[in-house]
Amino acid sequence: MVHLVQKYLSINNFADQKFAFKDLFESHPDFPSLFAITDSLESLAIENSALKISNDQLFELPDSFLAIYNKDLVLVTKSKTSIKIEFEKTGGKSLSFDDFIKGWNGIILVIEPNPTSIGKTLKTALKWFCYSLPVFALLIISIFNNNYDTSGIIFFSTSAVGLVFSIFIIKEKLGLKNEIVSQLCNRSSNVSCESVISSDKAKINEWLSFSDLPILFFGINLTSLLLNPSYSNNIIGLLSLLSLPIIGYSIWIQKMQLKKWCLLCLAVSFLIMFQGAVWVFMKNSFVSITFSSLFFYLFSMVLISSFWLIQSKTLENKIKAENEASKLKKFKRNYKIVNFLSNDIPVLKGLDELKGLKFGDNNAAVDIILIVSPKCKYCYKVFAEAFELITKYPEKNSLNIIFNINPDNNDNPYKVVAEHLLEINFLNEDLAREAIIDWYIQEVSLKKWIEKWKVDFISPKVCQQIEQQYNWCTANEFNYTPVKIVNNKLFPNEYEISELKYFLNDYAEGKQVFEKNDLVQI
């Protein structure tokens, strides 16, 4: 279902919103319903309509739309003579209009095409042109000023292309996204350049990681070729062959450990293997590697490595500092601003009856309530920050986890997580603590988590509690997660829960004043 909607978004020029939609949709309490789709699209400010129409109006619909066919959501592509429908799992097939109408219940979902996408596409194309132009200009100048043979031209051009891919890898590592690269690196569920590049398994040491190796390798190659191509070909070819174990290890990590593919990394691996194959094909040998070639290559290695190791750390620290500065501006530490932005809960009644997972001191001055969904990218981050907060300041904070998940939606595969956590919590709070850490912090897969935290029986009080929590969220129109509540007021979305640490004393004093006022009124 996610794939079909994402494809439909691309057709209507919303490709840049595909991954934001996936996060919103999968964390919606009514996932995977049609309402969850429309509500997620509305959250992204994408105009959409879900309605039931008559068969006669089918011909008036746009060329592409989503529809319910034989109780399944399908992507419909309409032509003058036939209709093509695409299923989430079984692919597509062509039907006549009459055959389609027989299985169609009249329900459709259409979205308004994005008119601004053309400008974005031209802007992206211009960026690609700016990236490629200097590379080709450098190649032409070098060819006219140096005596290149066939292998030299191949090594130079592949190293230039490899350097471009290496720059994109570094940008992914630093969080500097490129729209086209992001689309390429997230084209399917088992492809994620960011997951591979930012993984701890990609780190070699504090200063160096596997993502640094391509830019070093191709940067050194280009520099040595510019200095003297005739001397550098053989050592580049030999090193390409010697890199095969590292390439194999990288592929093994992606396939077996991370279970995600990095297309940028695979492209770099292919270029290095291609250079090694060219060197073997040209019948070069280790004997032809001379002192002169080693000198030029070692000089290039020292030059590029020294420059990159210093600049990469400086660049990384600069980006981190800029990100922190944007979040921790002076006005954000003003409690009056936080208090002003904090809103009252529309329907406070019934909140005390919700029995979630409780952590910390019950008598703490700051009560944090998180309303989460078992499958929510942002919930993982918020829970980790809140849990770290009560760990560092246990005497000041308490944390209560409430779930916003539809109890009647048995199609939601993540409903079992909420049920098991609440059941475990009723039996043993310490085990519940470990179980929720496994899910939200360790991010154990659904299958492994269920095997580890298997519950044979879900008690009626758990079912009742999930229903109570869902109904309370519905009454407050909390159709999103996470919801952050601090001392019975909605914590501003402009603030991260980790920033609460700056206002702990202020919140404590505010709560004391509130309780005193209550006593006076009584």
CB-based contact 371:477 (threshold 8 Å)? no
Q: What's residue 279's pLDDT?
A: 84
Q: What's residue 381's pLDDT?
A: 93
> How far is it, in rounded angstroms, from Cα 56 to Cα 186?
39
Distance of CA 20 to the CA centre of its chain: 8
Q: What's residue 513's pLDDT?
A: 43
> How far is it, in rounded angstroms, from Cα 110 to Cα 57?
14
Q: Is residue 260 classed as helix, strand or coil in its secondary structure?
A: coil
Q: What's residue 365's pLDDT?
A: 86
pLDDT tens per residue, the chain (522 residues)?
Answer: 788 898 899 888 888 788 888 877 887 777 888 888 988 888 787 888 888 998 888 888 888 999 999 888 999 998 888 899 988 776 678 888 888 898 999 999 999 888 765 555 556 556 666 666 765 676 666 666 666 677 777 888 888 889 888 888 888 887 776 656 766 776 677 787 877 887 777 677 766 778 888 888 898 888 888 777 666 778 888 888 888 988 888 888 888 888 888 888 888 999 999 988 888 887 654 445 666 667 878 888 888 888 888 887 787 777 777 666 655 555 676 788 888 889 999 999 999 899 999 998 888 889 999 999 998 889 999 999 999 989 888 888 899 999 999 999 988 999 999 999 999 999 999 999 999 999 999 999 999 999 999 898 899 999 999 999 999 999 999 989 999 999 999 999 888 898 888 788 778 776 544 343 333 332
Number of alpha helices (DSSP H) and beta strands (DSSP E) in the chain: 20, 12
How far is CA 32 from each of CA 16, 91, 414, 447, rounded to the nearest angstrom?
A: 22, 19, 11, 19
Q: What's residue 334's pLDDT?
A: 76
Whole-prediction pTM value? 0.53
Q: What's residue 416's pLDDT?
A: 94
What DSSP designation does 176 have? -
CA atoms within 13 A on the CB side of 352: 2
Tokens for 5, please give them: 């909607």
Domains in the chain (CATH in brackets) are: 2-111 (3.90.70.10), 118-325 (1.20.1440), 343-521 (3.40.30.10)
Tokens for 191, please give them: 């492809």
